[in-house]
A and B are shown apart, each in its own frame.
Chain A
Amino acid sequence: MGIVSPGFKGRGGAGREKLPPGQYLVTDFPVLSAGPTPRVDTGSWELRIRTETGEVHSWDWAAFRALPSEEITVDLHCVTKWSKLHTPWRGVSLDTLLAEAETSAEYALARSYGGYTTNLPLQDLLDGQAWVAYEFDGEPLESEHGGPARLLVPHLYLWKSAKWVQGIDLLDNDEPGFWESLGYHNYGDPWREQRYWGD
């Protein structure tokens, strides 16, 4: 095992990059999808955050794009074993999106156009760990990769980074999502290789 983690923004050229256990490196950007790609027009796009008391915060595309955004460079780890390093994104931090939400919820369920869902602890969306991303490598995010906007939670396996995100429900009780309800790990930490139930 390596002992040095790649720097957060490092493009550290030579040498071996450390990958989570069982992963291999890719340089392309594989497209995974459990259904047809939703074509969501930004004119009708909306992002809704709903708290456990039913309070709703929503943004249309213009309001969403008016929020402060961040450029981030992160590593992606897919449960199907590929990893892609140093991927550049632009998005709005969940800290920004959740700033006005009055909540004591512990769980979140992301919902996507097309019906996909994924669950995670609310804590994992906070403190600079998650974004709703709308640019990849300086370009508008392509629909195959989740455009116009997708969740980006790079410290968990990529199925948690819901493509075509439409809403996030804040919940008192955990609710397993599309893959979490069918054998895939409820949390999905790639560094602990939490691929399946019981891992």
Chain B
Amino acid sequence: MNTHLDGNVLAGALGEVFAVDITTAVAQCASCGTSQAMGQALVYTDAPGLVARCRTCGEVVLRVTRSPGRTWLDMRGVRCLELHVPGE
């Protein structure tokens, strides 16, 4: 029980919010400082929202919840997010 999926499942929930691909974004964990692609996070989905945890230290890096018509995003666990944007 209490299985988790990999961070690629975030693509669906956050694809509605961001124009960038969140799974290839590199997040620096606010707890341990490790940098990792969001797609590498451990995501707990059997919950009232999605909870992404750092693969290194297990702390929460990102949380997303949804209601019909609204979504909430908590990124307090990310110190810095490096996003890939189309080249100029």
Does A101 interact with chain B (Cβ within 8 Å)? no
What's the count of A-B pairs with C-beta under 8 Å? 55
Give Cα distance in the complex from A31 to B47, angstroms.
8
Q: Are B47 and A181 interface neighbours, CB within 8 A? A: no
A182 interfacial contact with B, CB 8 Å: yes
CB distance from A177 to the nearest CB of B (A): 12
User: Is there an interface contact between A182 and B74, defined as CB atoms closer than 8 Å?
Assistant: yes
Query: Interface size for chain A: under 10, 10 to 19, 20 to 34, or 35 or more residues?
Result: 20 to 34
Minimum CB–CB distance from B8 to chain A (whole Å) comes to 19
One digit per residue, 1 when the CB lies within 8 angstroms of any chain A CB and 0 when it does not, for chain B 24-63 equals 0000000000000000000010111101010000101001
9 A-B pairs with least C-beta separation? A183-B72, A196-B67, A33-B2, A34-B51, A183-B65, A34-B47, A37-B2, A144-B1, A31-B1
> 26 A-B residue contacts at CB 8 Å?
A30-B46, A31-B46, A32-B46, A33-B44, A33-B46, A33-B47, A34-B44, A34-B47, A34-B49, A35-B2, A35-B44, A35-B58, A35-B60, A36-B2, A144-B2, A179-B48, A181-B74, A182-B49, A182-B63, A182-B65, A182-B74, A183-B66, A183-B67, A183-B70, A183-B71, A196-B70
Binding site for A on B (CB under 8 A): 1-2, 4, 44, 46-49, 51, 53, 58, 60, 63, 65-67, 70-72, 74
